[in-house]
Amino acid sequence: MSRNNPKREEEAQAIDLTPMLDVVFIMLIFFIVTATFIKETGKDVTRPDANTADDKPNASILIAVGADNEIWMDKKKIDSRNLRQAIERMRVDNPKGAISIQADKDADIKFVVEIANAARTAGVTDVSVSTEKN
């Protein structure tokens, strides 16, 4: 005597979500691996206004100069003597990344020039100063 087992029918009608979860996890891994992470400077600055501002989408190394002339990178205060080494360490993560200097409008220009010179010494050719667009 053969009887239909209701449990077997329920198992046959159930949707297997395993392949969908596999695809979702593979997509998540892909986006994590290909994403570019920008490290914040750790210092809030009031950028100067500029009439001729251009967007720099590939600026991935941010260096801030506050109104008190302190240099900040990656949420740490950097001594000007160790600036080149800090830039070289950041370049290891992103060798093709450009540097954007976020200088406060009350900061001394000599610190901005010092950062640009340290960047050029470290091998970075794409250095820009971040401004507010009018």
Output 43 or 72, whichever has higher pLDDT.
Answer: 72
Confirm whether pTM is higher than 0.85: no
**Each residue of 66-110: pLDDT tens digit?**
888 889 888 889 888 888 998 888 888 778 878 888 888 888 889
CATH number at residue 115: 3.30.420.270
pLDDT over 60 at 2, yes or no = no
Specify which of 9-18, 41-50, 117-126 reaches the highest per-range mean pLDDT.
117-126
The answer to whether position 84 is within a domain reads: yes
- State how far the alpha carbon of 46 is from the alpha carbons of 52, 65, 83, 91, in Å: 18, 10, 22, 26
H, E, C per residue of 73-116: ECCEEECHHHHHHHHHHHHHHCCCCEEEEEECCCCCHHHHHHHH
What is the reported pLDDT for 39?
A: 66
The answer to whether position 104 is within a domain reads: yes
The answer to whether position 126 is within a domain reads: yes
Number of domains in the chain: 1
